[in-house]
Structure 1
Amino acid sequence: MKKYFAFYLLLILFFSSSFKVEAQYIAVMGALEQEIDLLLGEMEKQKKIQIGGIDFYKGKINGKKVVVLKAGVGKVNASYSTAVLTQNFGIDALIFTGVAGGLHPESLPGDIIIGDRLFQHDFGKFDQEGFEVTTYRELTGAHQTDLFIPSDSILVFKSKQAAQQVAFNALSGRNPNVFTGLIATGDMFVSSPEKAQWLFGEYGALAAEMEGAAVGHICRTLDIPFVVIRSCSDNANHDARVNFEQFVGPASINSSRLVLSILEDW
Structure 2
Amino acid sequence: MIVILTALNLEYQAVRRHLTGLETQAHEAGTLFEVGRLPGGGRAALCLAGKGNQSAAVLTERAIARFTPSAVLFVGVAGGLYPSVRLGDVVVASKVYAYHGGTAEDDGMKARPRAWDIPHAADQLAQHLDRTGEWTRHLPPGADVPAVRFAPIAAGEVVQDSATSAHARWVRDHFNDALAIEMEGAGVVHAAFLNSALPGVVVRGISDRADGTKQHTDGQNWQPRAAANAAAFAIALADELARTAHDGRSRHTTRTGSTPMLGENHNHAGGNARVGVQAGVIHGGVHQSFGASAPADLAGRIDALRGQLRQARADERLDEETYRAAEAELAIAADTTAERGTMLVALKRLRGLVVDLSGVAASVAAVIALVQGMA
TM interval, short-chain normalised: 0.7 to 0.9
TM-score by length of 1: 0.79
Partner of 2:23: 47
- Is the CA contact 2:15–2:228 (under 8 Å) kept in the aligned structure 1? no
**Which of the numbers 59, 74, 82 marks the counterpart of 2:36?**
59
CA shift, 1:129, in A, is 2.7
In the TM superposition, what are the counterparts of 1:29-178 in structure 2 within 5 Å?
Answer: 29-51=5-27, 52-62=29-39, 63-135=41-113, 147-163=114-130, 164-167=133-136, 175-178=145-148
Per-residue CA deviations over 1:180-229 (Å, capped at 9, x if unaligned) read 11110011101111344643453211110000011111111112111111
**Which of the numbers 235, 259, 279 marks the counterpart of 1:260?**
235
TM-score by length of 2: 0.57
- Is the CA contact 1:26–1:92 (under 8 Å) kept in the aligned structure 2? yes
**Which of the numbers 172, 181, 185 marks the counterpart of 1:208?**
181
- Is the CA contact 1:43–1:61 (under 8 Å) kept in the aligned structure 2? yes
**Which of the numbers 234, 238, 257 marks the counterpart of 2:208?**
234
Give the aligned CA root-mean-square deviation in angstroms.
2.3
SS of the equivalent of 1:230 reads strand
**Which of the numbers 248, 254, 257 marks the counterpart of 2:223?**
248
User: Where does structure 2 lack aligned partners over 5 or more consecutive residues?
Assistant: 244-375
**Which of the numbers 156, 165, 176 marks the counterpart of 1:186?**
156
- Is the CA contact 2:156–2:182 (under 8 Å) kept in the aligned structure 1? yes
Higher relative contact order (CA 8 A, sep 6+): 1
- Is the CA contact 2:111–2:174 (under 8 Å) kept in the aligned structure 1? no
SS of the equivalent of 2:161 reads coil
CA shift, 1:121, in A, is 1.4
Greater shift, 209-218 or 240-249, is seen at 240-249
User: Where does structure 1 lack aligned partners over 5 or more consecutive residues?
Assistant: 1-24, 136-146
- Is the CA contact 1:34–1:249 (under 8 Å) kept in the aligned structure 2? yes
- Is the CA contact 1:116–1:153 (under 8 Å) kept in the aligned structure 2? no
Letter in 1 for 2:189: G
SS of the equivalent of 2:210 reads coil
Per-residue CA deviations over 1:85-135 (Å, capped at 9, x if unaligned) read 122111110111100001133012101111011111122223333322214
SS of the equivalent of 2:86 reads coil
Letter in 2 for 1:82: T
- Is the CA contact 1:114–1:180 (under 8 Å) kept in the aligned structure 2? yes
- Is the CA contact 2:4–2:47 (under 8 Å) kept in the aligned structure 1? yes
- Is the CA contact 2:3–2:64 (under 8 Å) kept in the aligned structure 1? no
Q: Greater strand percent: which structure?
A: 1
**Identity over aligned pairs, percent:** 24
Quickly say closer, same or farther: Cα 1:201–1:165, change in 2 above 3 A.
farther
**2 CA distance for matches of 1:114 and 1:84?**
24
- Is the CA contact 2:2–2:71 (under 8 Å) kept in the aligned structure 1? yes
SS of the equivalent of 1:215 reads helix
CA shift, 1:152, in A, is 1.2
- The reply on whether 1:224 has 2:198 as its aligned counterpart is yes
CA shift, 1:247, in A, is 1.1
**1 CA distance for matches of 2:215 and 2:171?**
18
- Is the CA contact 2:61–2:192 (under 8 Å) kept in the aligned structure 1? no
- The higher radius of gyration belongs to 2
